[in-house]
């Protein structure tokens, strides 16, 4: 072991490091404008005290109030004749009166105000009423009076600088609560918004989790690194995906139109809903036998493929028919449900979601099928063809695929920036893509397999990392523009952020699973998807649950402030009240947030203990 010796050079180094630290912190103070003087200034302290007192009294409960207002004259500046005005004794008759002593005083002098015969234990302000403007009252510092059990109070107040020969007045307005307490409007609004907040977090978490799981497999190195394909297969698959997606959108659109026209007749709708699923069931049973030890003949395989295609199309038709039926039903039963009308509203939204998501699902399914099928064709080609035949085919396919990919990218750029110069945004990418594709094909041996899995992994990781660095609040601003102010924008923003951050965390869990079971399941001849379901999924269930809970906690917190930018939830109310300096209402919302966040924390820790 090397022994550290105290050399002068070393001491100098330490000294310089300490000096540098000092300078950095000094500059940091300057930059962040740390100024304790400001904290000590009287002005700041008064407002701080005011805000803290308001925050301590959340506007949650209110009462009906009885009020007694008594006005009594006072002279600011004693009359020049020196005679002290007589105290009026009219008030004494009513039993409730003020005694002001002395009855006249110079401006900014203190007088003592004593009240008799008020409600016991009531409170209220004691204020100055100028003679010139009796409609207005002047607040006199801390002027709240409290009565004792006999309804008596004494306060000392400083007269304002408003000298006048005319009598001016002091008014005591004492109030007491009567009747049962009731929730304020603020409390009701807060309740509404806090419910919205919790559901916002719930939806964002569930949607985000559901979508993050498949993405996390794409972002896991240990699952992706073994995926290799020959170039012809990759190129054909890259062509197949966009073509298949376009076809999927087209076909689901056609099915949708047919389904909508059929559903104008409710009987036909119901008939469709009975026949189509039955056909789907029969077709899948026939086309997907449970177990086969021998590979069936070519004709049967094609027939089964056609059967499955029909089943999928009919499946989409069933879903759309279901959507039509639920929207018809929900519109019909909404008035009958009364307070449970939200259930009908939910049904209607579900049918809308089904209708909107069908083209997306259709595009993905069709893209996957066409891409996968063409990929297989490419695989066969690369295996069976001779090297001399495969090479030119590779060059051609790879050039076309490269051109297509860069063309689509260029088209997206053109659409985003409206450059309007097709030679740059369309033709140049087209040419460059073709050139790069051909170059790749020329440089790789004809039958070599390329690590497409690692490429997809890198792309997925890059997209995740980029999106993850955008805060959910910023995403919410974009979604507010896209779908309007309200909780929907918040759900979208939090949901998207949940997807990208959970996918990252999940994929790290997938990367740390034991390789043994994975190896064992692969050795049984299971395919990739089966291996994931049987060897990967059982291992990642506990960490996935744990991370989902963690994200749920974050989403509850985030949903309380996503309203700051218009994303719905309680944040909007809170921001509004803070801006209006309505701190007592803001305090109610802060308490609600604290209670909800605390309760959700507790709940998730209980669930964590139970299931993980």
Partner 1 sequence: MLKIENLTKIYEPGGVLALDNVSFEVPDGQFLAVIGLSGSGKSTLLRCINRLIEPTSGHIYLDGEDITSLNPEQMRRVQRRIGMVFQHFNLVSRSSVLTNVLAGRLGYVNPAWSLMNRFPKEDMEKARRQLERVGISDKAMQRADALSGGQQQRVGIARALMQDPTLILADEPVASLDPVLAHSIMKYLEDINEKDGVTVLCSLHFLDIVHRYADRVIALNEGRVVFEGLPSEIDDKKFKDIYGRDAERVG
Interface residue list for partner 1 (CB under 8 A):
288-293, 295, 379, 383, 516-517, 519-527, 529-530, 533-535, 538-539, 541-542
Whether the bond into 102 is cis, omega within 30 of 0: yes
Closest CB to partner 1 among residues 72, 379: 379
Q: Which is nearer to partner 1, 341 or 517 (CB)?
A: 517
Q: In what order do the strands lie in the sheet with 110-116?
A: 97-101, 110-116, 153-158
Query: How near is the Cβ of 291 to partner 1 at its closest, in Å?
Result: 5
Could you tell me which of 321, 325, 315, 326 has the C-alpha nearest to residue 280?
315
Cβ neighbours of residue 398 under 8 Å, at least 6 residues apart?
231, 232, 235, 437, 438, 440, 441
Cβ 435 to partner 1, closest distance in Å? 30
Tokens of 589: 């919302």
C-beta of 235 vs 464, nearer to partner 1: 235
Closer Cβ to partner 1, 302 or 427, answer by number = 302
Strands (DSSP E) found in 78-183: 97-101, 104-105, 110-116, 123-129, 144-146, 153-158, 168-183
Q: Choose between 535 and 570: whose C-beta lies nearer to partner 1.
A: 535
Kindly give the residue spans of alpha helices, DSSP state H, lying in 338-451.
Answer: 341-384, 387-417, 422, 428-443
- Asked whether 563 and 571 are in contact (CB, 8 A), the reply is yes
Q: Which is nearer to partner 1, 413 or 456 (CB)?
A: 456
For the sheet with 104-105, list strands across it: 104-105, 61-76, 168-183, 123-129, 144-146
CB of 534 to partner 1, least distance (A): 5
CB of 528 to partner 1, least distance (A): 9
Provide, rounded to whole angstroms, the least separation between the CB of residue 538 and partner 1.
Answer: 4
Distance CA 173, CA 71 (A): 9
Nearer to partner 1, 112 or 530 (CB): 530
- Distance between first and last Cα of the chain: 45
Nearest approach in angstroms of CB 424 to partner 1 is 41
Beta carbon nearer to partner 1, 248 or 378: 378
How do 104-105 and 61-76 pair as beta strands?
parallel
DSSP letters, 29-98, are HHHTT--HHHHHSHHHHHHHHHHHHHHHS-S-EEEEEEEEEEEEEEEES--TT-PPPPPP-HHHHHS-EE
Give least dist CB 276 to partner 1, A. 19
Tokens of 371: 């891409």
3-state secondary structure 509-571: HHHCCCHHHHHHHHHCCCCHHHHHHHHHHHHHHHHHHHHHHHHHHHHHHHHHHHHHHCCCCHH
CB of 314 to partner 1, least distance (A): 16
The encoded tokens of residue 292 equal 């086969």
Spell out the residues 6+ positions from residue 471 whose beta carbon is closer than 8 angstroms to its own.
Answer: 497
- Looking at beta carbons only, is 539 or 546 nearer to partner 1? 539
Judged by beta carbon, residue 535 or residue 592, the one nearer partner 1 is 535
What's the closest the beta carbon of residue 281 comes to partner 1, in angstroms?
A: 13
Angle between helices 452-468 and 185-218 (to 10 degrees): 160
Shortest distance in whole angstroms from residue 513 CB to partner 1: 10
For the CB of residue 514, give the shortest distance to partner 1 in the complex, in Å. Answer: 8
Q: Give the residues across from 114 on adjacent strands.
A: 99, 154
Question: Residue 176 in contact with residue 65, Cβ under 8 Å?
Answer: yes
Nearer CB in complex with partner 1: 141/289 = 289
Residue 521: CB minimum distance to partner 1, A? 6
Contact (Cβ atoms closer than 8 angstroms) between residue 410 and residue 425: yes
Which one, 74 or 518, has the nearer CB to partner 1?
Answer: 518
Distance in Å, CB of 213 to partner 1, minimum:
14
DSSP β-bridge partners for residue 104: 75
Of 579, 575, 588, 570, which is closest to residue 184 (Cα–Cα)? 588
> 450 vs 485, which CB is nearer to partner 1?
450
Taking the least distance from each CB to partner 1, the nearer of 107 and 538 is: 538
Q: How far is the CB of 522 from partner 1 (least distance, A)?
A: 6
């Amino acid at each position: 072991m090397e022994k550290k010796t105290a050399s002068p050079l070393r001491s100098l180094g330490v000294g310089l490091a300490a000096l540098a630290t000092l300078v950095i912190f000094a500059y940091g103070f300057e930059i962040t404008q740390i100024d304790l003087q400001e904290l000590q200034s009287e002005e700041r302290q008064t407002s701080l005290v005011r805000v803290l007192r308001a925050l301590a009294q959340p506007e949650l409960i209110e009462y009906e109030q009885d009020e007694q207002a008594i006005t009594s004259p006072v002279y600011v500046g004693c009359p020049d004749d020196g005679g002290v005005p007589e105290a009026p004794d009219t008030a004494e008759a009513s039993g409730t009166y003020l005694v002001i002593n002395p009855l006249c005083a110079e401006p900014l002098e203190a007088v003592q105000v004593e009240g008799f015969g008020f409600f016991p234990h009531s409170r209220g302000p004691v204020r100055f009423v100028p003679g010139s403007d009796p409609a207005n009252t002047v607040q006199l510092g801390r002027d709240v009076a409290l009565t004792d059990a006999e309804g008596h109070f004494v306060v000392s107040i400083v007269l304002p600088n408003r000298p006048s020969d005319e009598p001016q007045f002091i008014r005591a307005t004492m109030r007491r609560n009567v009747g049962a307490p009731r929730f304020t409007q603020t409390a009701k609004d807060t309740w509404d918004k806090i419910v919205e907040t919790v559901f916002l977090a719930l939806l964002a978490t569930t949607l985000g989790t559901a979508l993050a799981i498949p993405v996390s497999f794409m972002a896991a190195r240990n699952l992706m690194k073994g995926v290799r394909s020959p170039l012809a297969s990759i190129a054909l698959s890259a062509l197949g995906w966009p073509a298949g997606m376009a076809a999927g959108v087209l076909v689901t659109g056609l099915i949708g139109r047919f389904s909508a026209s059929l559903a104008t007749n409710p009987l036909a709708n119901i008939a469709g809903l009975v026949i189509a699923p039955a056909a789907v069931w029969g077709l899948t049973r026939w086309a997907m036998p449970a177990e086969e030890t021998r590979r069936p003949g070519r004709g049967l395989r094609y027939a089964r493929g056609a059967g499955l295609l029909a089943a999928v199309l009919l499946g989409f038709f069933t879903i759309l028919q279901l959507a039509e039926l639920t929207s018809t039903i929900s519109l019909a039963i909404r008035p009958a449900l009364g307070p449970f009308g939200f259930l009908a509203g939910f049904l209607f939204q579900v049918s809308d979601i089904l209708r909107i998501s069908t083209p997306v699902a259709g595009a993905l399914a069709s893209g996957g099928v066409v891409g996968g099928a063409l990929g297989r064709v490419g695989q066969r080609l690369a295996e069976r063809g001779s090297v001399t035949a495969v090479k030119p085919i590779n060059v051609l396919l790879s050039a076309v695929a490269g051109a297509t990919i860069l063309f689509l990218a260029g088209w997206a750029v053109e659409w985003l920036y409206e450059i309007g110069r097709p030679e740059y945004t369309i033709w140049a990418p087209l040419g460059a893509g073709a050139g790069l594709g051909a170059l790749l094909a020329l440089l790789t041996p004809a039958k070599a397999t390329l690590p497409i899995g690692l490429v997809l992994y890198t792309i997925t990781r890059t997209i995740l990392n980029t999106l993850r660095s955008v805060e959910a609040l910023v995403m919410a601003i974009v979604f507010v523009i896209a779908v309007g102010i309200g909780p929907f924008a918040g759900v979208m923003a939090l949901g998207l952020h949940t997807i990208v951050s959970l996918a990252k965390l999940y994929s790290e869990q997938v990367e740390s699973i034991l390789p043994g079971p994975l190896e064992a399941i692969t050795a049984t001849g299971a395919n990739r998807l089966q291996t994931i379901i049987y060897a990967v999924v059982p291992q990642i269930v506990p960490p996935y649950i744990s991370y989902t809970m963690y994200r749920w906690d974050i989403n509850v917190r985030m949903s309380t402030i996503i309203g700051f930018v218009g994303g719905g939830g309680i944040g909007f109310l809170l921001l509004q009240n803070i801006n209006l300096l309505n701190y007592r209402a803001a305090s109610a919302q802060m308490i609600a947030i604290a209670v909800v966040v605390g309760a959700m924390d507790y709940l998730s820790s209980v669930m964590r203990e139970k299931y993980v």
